[in-house]
Amino acid sequence: MASPNKACTGSPPGYIPQCNTFDWALGQPFLHQSDFVPADYRVPEIEPERKILVDEKSDRPLTHAQIRRDALAFAAGLRGLGLNPAHVKKLPPTPTCPRPEIAPIVLVQLPNSLPWAPILLGIFAAGMTATLVSPALTSSEIAWILQSSRPLVIITSRPCMEAMHAALNAQEDTSYFGRVPVYTYDPASDVYPLPATASTTSPTDWRQLLAQVPLQSSFPMSAFSATTRTAVILWSSGTSGRSKGVLLSHHALNYSTAAFWHDADFYLGQRQHWLGYVPFYHVFGLCNSLLLSICAGATVYVMSAFNLDSVLAAVPKRGITYFHMAPPVAVMLAKSPVVEPYAKKDPVTGRNAFSTVVAGVSGGAPLGHEVIVEVYRRLGFRIRLGYGLSETCGTSMQRGLSESEMHSSAGDSGIPHYGVELVIDAAGHGGNDAVVVPAEIGKPGEILVRCPALMLAYLPAGGLQPDAGHEPDMSATLNALTPDGWFRTGDVGNINAEGKLSITDRLKELIKVRGFQVAPAELEAVLCSNDHIADAGVIGVYDEGEATEYPKAYVVPQRQRLSETELHSLAIELKAFIEKRAARYKWLHGGIVFVDQIPKSLSGKILRRVLKQGDVKGTEVQLYLKKARDTKL
């Protein structure tokens, strides 16, 4: 409950074991009642042959026992390459960690697929750190991650090899990156966990790291090490334009999954069947789907990408019980005519194709209440909104399954997850020396989060360069965290008398495209690198029909007084220019507006508020035709 008259909600955590995430996930943590497992949420013993991941197309299963065996084999393979878990990089203290540590880094860049489980848990079992990278990134974006994290091993998808090679070739430290081994996963021919044949296995195939003699056990971790050693580095776009590496400890991942299960009112004692198309490299897919399924013995039907026809067919075929989605998927379920045959109820049983679905969860971006209501009316289950960030994992979620609870939660993002504390800072001016002033109930301010799942730190500015006799630059971390361990989200919201959080705005300038973050400064830098552009400003524009934001660019041409035909030609050139240099979700689907100048403050900062208000007029060109997204994201 909220504190009297003050916008504070949530409670400190109870006891959760502090250990290697390999041991946590495969140790059946929800078998017995505990601080984080209510009596009704106990999960019966998971048998060794329980199918945890199933390839949706081929039906190839990966069992609980196979995940353990192959993760330990993969860990032995990493050790065989000479990676030593004792060789850690130690960072200066932060408000959330007395001594953040980073083990030798393994970069993983894969679409959702069965190898994710043995590769990721194998990295954990070996005592290493994984950095998770989207397959959609361009070579320049990958190059930044390589430069910052300096991985010792790379595992990537074969379709990503061209961009990966270009990124490696762009590195200045050729002596280092020339020695980094690159292993590949081929989505077209890989049949894991079926035995590989000589014709399908190359010397650089990822299976070459499945050692014949696996480790007997995982790398042992003390309670202190589990809270200080980095398990994963996720990449979050920053307002400075470059993505920032977010360091999450083993305990942060463990705590996040425990908090999700503590609040799993959808469980109802049922064996869980989920669809796995939310990317596993994203914090939502990583914690809510991949890791949680292993902990809870749920079966996840893995899909490499979202396709509405495939999803609709899988729901009744697989008996899906809980539905993970981004807001655009919810819009499709509410509006697409393709859904109608699956929404139709059987006249005898009164059931439809979605009758096994108890509830769904949507995160990553706002979703209108009218869409939630329409999905409930059409398909019969409630979508609950969740809130979280790469830096905080899961933060809050709406509770309840009923229609009345759905309507009573209109406009909010729920209450904090187990052990998560929230406060609304009325001052909201940020900085590590800023005093947190709790707002009054219902009054707006910056949302601050504190919990054991918070990041240890951001990667230092300049990345993990070899020691040069100076302390790492931790300024980004210290600006994001208060001295007493609150994370400044950059989001604006309020907390009501019931302790429910509502998000109303963002202090940060990030654009959220289907849950992915886009930094305006990054696109502005790309645009301004074009010889024909003098200046640029980028904002996000919201598309209600698709329930997402899109980047929109205001551009000042280098040459003045261009004709409309010339401006249109320049727009087409810029479209191709961006597409070659940025991931698809960063493309300018919001269009381009050619203007005489970009509004700026006296200090030179772009006045995005003025751009958003529509006060800057110019010649607008739409670069993409709006399609009816009935089947694909």
pLDDT digits (tens, 9 = 90+) for 130-152: 999 999 999 999 999 999 999 99
Angle at 458 between CA 454 and CA 459, to 5 degrees: 145
Angle at 501 between CA 392 and CA 279, to 5 degrees: 40
Task: Give me 255's structure tokens.
Answer: 């705590």
Q: Please identify which residue in the block is written with the tokens 């203290």.
A: 93
> Of 218, 220, 191, nearest to 207 (Cα)?
191
- In this model, does residue 239 exceed pLDDT 60? no
The continuous run of DSSP H or E covering 143 comes out as helix 139-149
> How far is the C-alpha of 75 from the C-alpha of 56, rounded, in Å?
27
Q: Please identify which residue in the block is written with the tokens 């590590």.
A: 432
pLDDT digits (tens, 9 = 90+) for 35-67: 999 999 999 999 999 999 999 999 999 999 999
**8-489 maps to CATH 3.40.50.1820:** no
| Angstrom distances, CA of residue 471 to CA of 116, 146, 246, 521 | 35, 21, 19, 27
Q: Give the 3-state secondary structure of residue 117.
A: helix
Confidence category of residue 627, pLDDT binned at 50, 70, 90 = low
Rg of the chain taking only CA atoms, in angstroms:
24
Q: Which residues contact 210 (CB under 8 A, 6 or more apart)?
A: 70, 73, 74, 77, 118
Q: Is cis: bond before 193, omega within 30 of 0?
A: yes
> How far is the C-alpha of 104 from the C-alpha of 14, rounded, in Å?
31
For residues 96 and 456, the answer to whether their CB atoms sit within 8 Å is yes
Task: Give me 26's structure tokens.
Answer: 């495969």
Mean pLDDT for 288-316 is 97
For residues 62 and 193, the answer to whether their CB atoms sit within 8 Å is yes
Q: Give the 3-state secondary structure of residue 539.
A: strand
| CATH superfamily assigned to domain 511-621 | ANL, C-terminal domain (3.30.300.30)
- In this model, does residue 433 exceed pLDDT 60? no
The ranges assigned to domains in the chain are 8-489, 511-621
- In this model, does residue 603 exceed pLDDT 90? no
Classify 506 in phi/psi space as left (phi over 0), alpha (psi -120 to 50) or beta. beta
Instruction: Residue count of the chain, please give it.
Output: 633
Can you give the pLDDT at residue 1? 41
pLDDT digits (tens, 9 = 90+) for 358-403: 999 998 777 888 889 999 999 999 999 999 999 999 999 999 999 9
Count Cα atoms within 13 angstroms, Cβ side, for 256. 31
The continuous run of DSSP H or E covering 69 comes out as helix 64-80
Can you give the pLDDT at residue 72? 98
pLDDT digits (tens, 9 = 90+) for 248-285: 999 999 999 999 999 999 999 999 999 999 999 999 99
Mean pLDDT for 191-214 is 87
pLDDT digits (tens, 9 = 90+) for 499-539: 999 998 777 788 989 888 888 888 988 998 898 998 899 99
The continuous run of DSSP H or E covering 612 comes out as helix 608-612
Can you give the pLDDT at residue 620? 95
Count Cα atoms within 13 angstroms, Cβ side, for 38. 13
Q: What is the mean pLDDT of the chain?
A: 92
> How far is the C-alpha of 263 from the C-alpha of 163, rounded, in Å?
41
Chain-centroid distance, C-alpha 388: 9
What would you measure as the largest C-alpha separation in the chain, in angstroms? 76
Mean pLDDT for 461-469 is 76
